[in-house]
Structure 1
Amino acid sequence: MQRIALLTSGGDSPGMNACIRAVARKAIYHGLEVMGIKRGFNGFIEADMYPMNLGSVAGIIHRGGTILHTARSDHFMTPEGRAKANENVKRFGIQGLVVIGGDGSFRGASVFHQEYGLPVIGVPGTIDNDIAGTDQSIGFDTAVNTAVEAISKIRDTATSHERTFIIEVMGRHFGFIALAAGLAGGAESILVPECPFNYDEICERLMRGYKRGKLHSIIVVAEGVAGGIEVGRIIKERTGFDTKVTILGHLQRGGMPSAADLILASRMGARAVELLMAGSKKDMVGVKAGEIIAVDIDEALSQTKAIDTEMCNLAVSLSI
């Protein structure tokens, strides 16, 4: 192993830059050359890459986003696109690839390995935290903290105006952000795709709070359950409460990563290089019970990460 490449793909997440830094510095520490690929698999196809050195990753650890930029690539989904990428593997002498991204990025990396044999290591970087095989992915902790901070600020104005606020967070298919942020933020109700809910029960809970003098209510909604505006409309119709909606949207993706994400990204990035040097062919770096582990990418992709339903039950019991 003399030269490796790395790219970021899919949605950006806070901590990707810290991971890029760790991959580059760990590789250089061991005498490897590193090629940075811009704009994900599109850059892989178009040879949009450059040699990285220690200066390439100076001063980026605290920055959100990704200095390599990211994009989704329909062309890489085709055999022709992957064939062109393989031409660049030969052209630049790439002997291993680190892919920082989510499940779609890992599927592309796995197919490429199967077709051309290039060793690939996936590093889970997604705020959704929906990758099986790891307790947490890079960016999740920061996104949750961003949502909790927003909930705290909205609660101040909700109390001042005696209103019910619906806060919509990201999570089209999974409710990890909503559940964690709602529980940490003391939401009266948390709506996620994985846990059933009933509008009658939600409204009854709001009415009980109002009768005992509660001045505000916060409801956190994962975007995959229903639009926050629709939820707000239903609750206002059934209760008559002054209901406002805030959609956090891409606010959750940006900002300086939390300390937890910076440490996780650094550990995962360094381990990715170690795996390539040790001869791994198609693994994903993960974390289990605080330990950095490696699992086969296809094994991780074959599973669905389950939400902790006990946290759903806890949220309900604490919001009486």
Structure 2
Amino acid sequence: MKRIGVLTSGGDAPGMNAAVRAVVRKGIYHDLEVFGIYNGFQGLMEGKIEKMELGSVGDMIQRGGTMLYSARCEEFKTDEGQNKGIEQLKKFEIDGLIVIGGDGSFQGAAKLTAKGFPCIGVPGTIDNDIPGTDYTIGFDTALNTIVEAIDKIRDTATSHERTYVIEVMGRDAGDLALWAGLANGAETVVIPEKDEPFENVVDRLKRGSERGKKHSIIILAEGVGNGMDYGKRIEESTRFETRVTVLGHIQRGGRPTASDRVLASRLAGKAVDLLLEGQGGLMVGIQNNELVHHDIIDILKQPHKLDMSLYQLMNELSI
């Protein structure tokens, strides 16, 4: 293997730049030529490919977003689109590809590997919803962004004696909501993995009010429902003054935490090692603080599992 490529795909996540940096610098350290592919799989099909040098990734480890940009690409889900991508890889004589992204990005990597082109997936998504790894790149930063925002909202909730519903990201996974709820001392967390009866939420709020509690925080994962609608239901059922905050894309931005920078560097470095070994069709991850790798097809077949012991602990602490 003499030339490798790297791209970022899907939603951006803090730490992606640290991962790209690690791919480029470790690749060059091992005498590889490294090519950056811009705008994800869309850019791959269009040949938006440039050779990267050490300086290409200078002053990048601390920056959020992705310097290679990202794009969602429906065409790449087709055989024709995948063949276009492979043609470009052959044109630039690239021998292996590292794909940084979430499950949709891994689907693309798996398709290329099935067509004979070795790819390694690096999990980069704030949702932390990829099986086979304890943490994904960007999760820790997004979590800290949420925690900081809720700390500030709590000041206003206390001052005005209000109930706040805070909608966070997590379409199919409740990790961000659950971890933020535990870190912020929320009264209730509503997540896709747990069917929490609305009546239970209302009862908990009323019990808190009866013992003199002046404000409450409810964290809602976006995959469960609309924050504005949920807040309206809360106010109608309790008669408590209720406000709603939808944190939105602020959760994806910002400087990556030290934890995400280190995680990104470790995972990307492992991905380069696997390509150097001639392997493909794999995903790298971290479990019990040890770097691991799995067959990417097997991983895509597995459901994401939330640590429900954290959910139980949060409920015990929010009585």
Normalising by the residue count of structure 2, what TM-score does the alignment of the two structures yield?
A: 0.99
Q: Which amino acid aligns with 1:110?
A: A
Name 2:174's counterpart in structure 1.
Answer: 175
TM-score (norm 1): 0.98
Distance 1:152 1:78 in 2: 45
Task: Please say if 1:74 is aligned against 2:82.
Answer: no
Would you say 1:190 and 2:189 are equivalent positions? yes
Structure 2: segments with no counterpart, 5+ residues = none
C-alpha distance in 1 between matches for 2:195 and 2:314: 13
Find runs of 4+ consecutive structure 1 residues off by over 3 angstroms.
none
Give secondary structure in 2 for the equivalent of 1:69.
coil
Counterpart Cα distance in 2 of 1:158 and 1:126? 30
- State yes or no: 1:84 paired with 2:84: yes
One-letter code aligned to 1:181: A
Quick check: 74-83 or 127-136, which moved more?
A: 74-83
Indicate the residue corresponding to 1:165 in structure 2: 164
In the alignment, what sits opposite 1:293?
292
Match of 1:235 in 2: 234
- Deviation string for 1:149-191 (max 9, x for gaps)? 1110000000000000000000111111100111111100000
Secondary structure at the residue paired with 1:219?
A: strand
SS in 2 for 1:300: helix
Q: Does 1:313 align with 2:312?
A: yes
- Number of equivalenced pairs: 319
1:267 equivalent in structure 2: 266
Range with greater deviation from structure 2 (209-218 or 57-66): 209-218
- In structure 1, C-alpha distance between the alignment counterparts of 2:313 and 2:228, rounded to whole Å: 26
Counterpart mapping for 1:75-224 below 5 A: 75-115=75-115, 117-224=116-223
**Which digits, 9 at most, give the CA deviation of each residue in 1:213-242, with x for residues without a partner?**
111100000001111111111110111000
Distance 1:226 1:183 in 2: 20
**CA distance in 2 between partners of 1:312 and 1:83 (Å):** 45
Q: Which moved more, 1:224-233 or 1:241-250?
A: 224-233
Matches of 1:83 and 1:214 in 2, distance apart? 61
What is the RMSD of the two structures over their aligned residues, measured on CA atoms? 0.7
Post-superposition shift, 1:313?
1.2
Q: Which residue of 2 aligns with 1:15?
A: 15
1:31 aligned residue: 31
- d(CA) in 2 for partners of 1:3 and 1:90? 11
Aligned-partner Cα distance in 2 for 1:195–1:173: 11
Report if aligned partners of 2:112, 2:118 keep a CA contact under 8 Å in 1.
no
The alpha carbon displacement at 1:210 in A equals: 1.2
Unpaired runs of at least 5, structure 1: none
> 1:80 is paired with a residue of what secondary structure?
helix
The 8 Å contact of residues 82 and 111 in structure 2, kept in 1 or not, is answered as no
**1:5-35 C-alpha deviation (Å, 9 max, x unpaired):** 0000000000000000000000000100000
The whole-number CA distance in structure 2 between the counterparts of 1:123 and 1:74 is: 21
Q: 2-side partners of 1:89 and 1:226: how far apart?
A: 42
Q: Decide which moves more: 60-69 or 294-303.
A: 294-303
